[in-house]
Structure 1
Amino acid sequence: MITTAARHPRFAHGLAILAVMALWLGGSGASLRAADDAAPAIPDTLQQRIAACTACHGVHGEGSPDTGFFPRLAGKPAGYLARQLQDFKDGLRKYAPMEYTTRFLSPEYMQEIAQYFAAQQVPYSPSPVPRVSADVMKRGETLVTQGDPARQVPACSACHGSQLTGVQPDIPGLVGLPYDYLSSQLGSWRTKTRAMAAPDCMAEIANRLSDADISAVSAYLATRELPADMHAQAPGSIKPPLRCGVLEAHGSGA
């Protein structure tokens, strides 16, 4: 991966244009040196190198609650974030900009990026939620906190933590995420544009939910009051009700 803008061909191309302009204007060698000296120094820092991430996900990975489709990265478990980068690289998750961004990232670099965003602590911002009835919101609360045994749908809290803030090191928090993002991701598991290592427990759950259930769950999670402590729960503090390939591979959640 290119680590400084100075090594990027577009950056070099820009310098070449400056040089040609100086010659065209009758500039001397001193003018060319002045143009080169005026070029901004690009720091070789992690913050600079993850500019492609922060352009969409926010300076601190706070997400874009107004649009809903660029999720929060800040404070999520590092293991989860690194796995998502790998999933985009491996084609398990389908989104062209992310697939391109991760194409040449090493596992070590993915871990570095994940650790950076996991350490960020910034406030959550409210996001737009469609108007839904009290019955819909009640259905969402039931699915999130109790599940639906008749459909073999476990409660979201059974995997994502009692306060829905996630579980270290691999399970993300759900509370506070935008409605549009939540509903689109559940839909992505149904359309096979998002997947995990087999057995894919989230694909199983998403396919047991109706369209109305997905809307209800997303609305409830997006409007649920945030707990005082938004940190993910400790490793091993939950026992997943379904077999999940990612958790089995990493020995977490048991």
Structure 2
Amino acid sequence: MTINRRACTAVLLGLSLWFQSAVADEGVMQSGQRIVEMGDQHGHASCAACHAANGAGQPALGIPRLAGLPADYLERQLAYFADGERDSVIMAPYAKRLDASQRQAVARYFASQAPQPADTAPRAASAELLAHGKDIYERGISAFRTPACAQCHGVRALGVDGFSPPLAGQSPGYTVRQLEQWRSGSLRGATGKFMRAEAAHLSDLDIQALASYVATLPVPLNASSNGDKQ
């Protein structure tokens, strides 16, 4: 039996590289989990204090769920907070204490967590309010030529291929606050111009309706299943 040494060498090299990558990934995940649960090496408050160790957030307080959100999206938001491109008196000081590798580790850890069912359901909205939110989400506002939210966030509000974040299942309080910030012109990062233009035409009722509607949409209980593809 003839052994192709070149082929064997290539296979062994491939396995070695895969193993090194797997070890590196495991190290990143462990680093992210440690920061999430215990804070950074300087003894800063942990992410879990607000967002929970599993990334479930605190819907009743309007603290967002991070579990299962795209890692690249989470990493970008942390960078925006750290660089001052996104306003938050709470998040900015924390993000500034983390270096780029730590922000990546935290983002990848939260992205790996499977979303869990909310402990408490959001306050029931009226059928009329939900219908209004669904109409704006799926059709936009023709009078202002405002496109449908679904065009960027997907028909199920699960985000689209990492381009836009999932909205499904987020607490109404959190979504309302974000839309109000977009409308007010608050700093929000590189995509700010587009979203500010969209939110500029939303009334208080529109914002409440949209937030209530997306909160009712189901969240896949599997981190890897997030994302709408159109």
Confirm whether residue 158 of structure 1 aligns to residue 144 of structure 2.
no
In the superposition, relative to structure 1, how do residues 78 and 198 fare at CA in structure 2: closer, same or farther (>3 Å)?
closer
The aligned runs of 1:61-100 (5 Å cut-off) are 61-68=55-62, 70-100=63-93
Q: 2:196 aligns with which of 203, 217, 224?
A: 203
**Gap regions ≥5 residues in structure 2:** 1-29, 39-45
Q: How many residues align?
A: 192
In the superposition, relative to structure 1, how do residues 213 and 106 fare at CA in structure 2: closer, same or farther (>3 Å)?
same
The aligned runs of 1:33-112 (5 Å cut-off) are 45-50=31-36, 51=38, 52-68=46-62, 70-112=63-105
The AA in structure 1 aligned to 2:108 is: Q
Shift in Å, 1:212: 0.9
Question: What's the TM-score once normalised by structure 2's chain length?
Answer: 0.75
The AA in structure 1 aligned to 2:176 is: S
1:21 corresponding residue in structure 2: none
Shift in Å, 1:225: 4.1
Question: Is the Cα contact below 8 Å between 2:156 and 2:217 reproduced in 1?
Answer: no
RMSD: 2.3
1:8 corresponding residue in structure 2: none
2:24 corresponding residue in structure 1: none
1:38 corresponding residue in structure 2: none
Secondary structure at 2:61 match in 1: coil
Shift in Å, 1:198: 5.5
Q: Which has the larger radius of gyration?
A: 1
In the superposition, relative to structure 1, how do residues 91 and 163 fare at CA in structure 2: closer, same or farther (>3 Å)?
same
Q: Please give the per-residue CA displacement for 1:85-109, whole angstroms capped at 9, x wherever unaligned.
A: 0111122222222111111322222
The AA in structure 2 aligned to 1:62 is: A
Q: 1:142 aligns with which of 135, 141, 150?
A: 135
Secondary structure at 1:66 match in 2: helix
Question: What's the TM-score once normalised by structure 1's chain length?
Answer: 0.68
Confirm whether residue 118 of structure 1 aligns to residue 111 of structure 2.
yes
Q: Which moved further from structure 2: 145-154 or 54-63?
A: 145-154
**Gap regions ≥5 residues in structure 1:** 1-43, 239-254
Shift in Å, 1:116: 1.0
1:4 corresponding residue in structure 2: none
- Which one scores higher on RCO, CA 8 angstroms, separation ≥ 6? 2
Confirm whether residue 184 of structure 1 aligns to residue 170 of structure 2.
no
